[in-house]
Structures are given as structure tokens and as C-alpha cells.
Amino acid sequence: MMSYLFSPYYLPILLLQIACAVHVVRSGRDTVWLWIVIIFSFIGCVVYLITQVLPHLGQSPAVRQAKRTASRILDPEGQRRRIEARLALSDTLDNRTALARECMNRGDYGNAADLFRSCLKGMYAHDPAIMLDLARALFAAEDYAATRQTLEELIGKNPDYRSPEGHLLYARALENLGENDQALQEYTVLDSTYPGEEARARHAVLLKRLGRTAEAQTVLTTMRTRFKAAPPFYQRNERSWLDLARRELG
């Protein structure tokens, strides 16, 4: 027993037992595993890890995301090839939009726009979700006039459809087209409807660029007030937009 205590492997095994015991308790597993880990030491830990931990690792969102990231690094075009192969076998709406979104992820906005546009036919000729995806691709390709036209057609064909993201995209398209007065009207509406700080930040920056500093500061003050009253998760997610407005407005 004493020789075991002075073994160079004692501390690592003890730490492994503690880690496994903590995992047993936190994961709510049967307490029999706790005794197996304690009584059978290293062997008990190995059995626990093989039977209880490893099979569930692949189900973790973080692990799945890590696998996807690694796959993209090792084979950047692999996902696109797989989707193209599925599309060649079955030319369905799901496969076509999946390829379009992969093109977006790869920065191939022209092909993405063409693919989304090709989906707008038949019963999906005016599908709002596909039209919004098309507008995103056109905006990313810096075709702001086509972005505006697509979004206006979207709301014309789907008057009850509401999308804060689509509304913000429309305001940004107008701004990039130099139609600042109309863009400001849209941003003003978004100030009270957009579920985040991006719209207000872009509104404040545009006002500052047009020399309307006092109005820009009013928007920034609203952002600061909302930010202080917001829960921590909101502050974490939206801090970058508040920081952007602060920098631009000095």
C-alpha cells in the first residue's frame, strides 16, 4: 500500500478518479459508477470512460462543431462536393438551397444568388424565406439595387411577412444606394422593433456621417440606457454594436 502511495502514477490516477467521480455526480448517473471508480481505481475509471463518456461525446454540440471546423480546414471544398453530389442525384429544393447556403459560407455570393433565384418557381415562386436568402446573397455581392428590388417584391407578394433582419437589410441597401433620407426612415422604425443593437448602431453612424450629430447622440443615449437595463447575455451579444457607435461618435 505504501509503495503505491509513493508511485509516480498515484497522483495522476487520483486526479482521474476525482474527475470521473465529479462527472458521475454532475451527469446524474447511477451511484454504482461512483463506487466502481473509487474501488477499482484506474481500471474502474477506464471502464467508466469507455462505457459512459466516449459514446456520448459525439452528441455534444461543441464536439460536433469542432468536427465540422476541422473538416472545413482539412478539406475546404468537401462539404460543397457532397452537396453537389446529392443535388446531382436528386434535384430537390432542399438540396438546391443547401448548396446555395454552402456557397454563401464559401463567399461565392454570385452562385449563391443564382441558386436561390432558381428555387423561386412553381409553388415557391414567392416564398419569403427563399427571397430573403436571395436578398442576403445579393447584398453580400454588393448588388444593392437588386437587394432592394428583391425585398420590395418579397413584401409586395407576402404583405403579412415580418422579418427584422430583412427590414434591416432593406435599410442598409438604401443607405448603400445613397438614398439616405429613406434609409433614415427605415432605421427610425427599426429603433423600436429590431431585437438587438445593430440597427440603432447603424442608425447613429449614418446620422453622424450626415452631420446630424445631436440626433446621433440621442440614439447612442438610448442604446446606453437599454444596455444598462439588459440582462448579461444580451450585453455580451450586443456589446460590439454599442462599442462601434461609441467609436464612430467619438
Please give the C-alpha separations between residue 119 and each of 5, 92, 111, in angstroms, as whole numbers.
69, 9, 13
- Nearest 10 degrees: CA dihedral of 215, 174, 182, 185? -50
What is the residue type of 142? E
Q: Which residues contact 210 (CB under 8 A, 6 or more apart)?
A: 180, 184
Q: Where are the beta strands (DSSP E) in the chain?
A: none
Give dist(CA 82, CA 72) in Å, integer: 12
What does R_g of the chain's alpha carbons equal in angstroms? 27
Q: In tens digits, what is the pLDDT along the chain, a chain of 250 residues?
A: 444 444 566 778 888 888 888 988 888 888 888 888 888 888 888 888 888 887 776 555 655 665 555 555 555 677 788 888 888 888 899 999 999 999 999 999 999 999 999 999 999 999 999 999 999 999 999 999 999 999 999 999 999 999 999 999 999 999 999 999 999 999 999 999 999 999 999 999 999 999 999 999 999 999 999 999 999 999 999 999 999 999 999 7
CATH of domain 162-250: 1.25.40
- Which three-class secondary structure state does DSSP give residue 125? coil
In the chain, residues under CATH classification 1.25.40 are 76-158, 162-250
Nearest to 68 by CA among 89, 53, 82: 82
pLDDT of residue 61: 60
Q: Which three cell numbers stand for residue 88?
A: 446531382
Q: Which fold has domain 76-158?
A: 1.25.40
Q: Which residues contact 82 (CB under 8 A, 6 or more apart)?
A: none
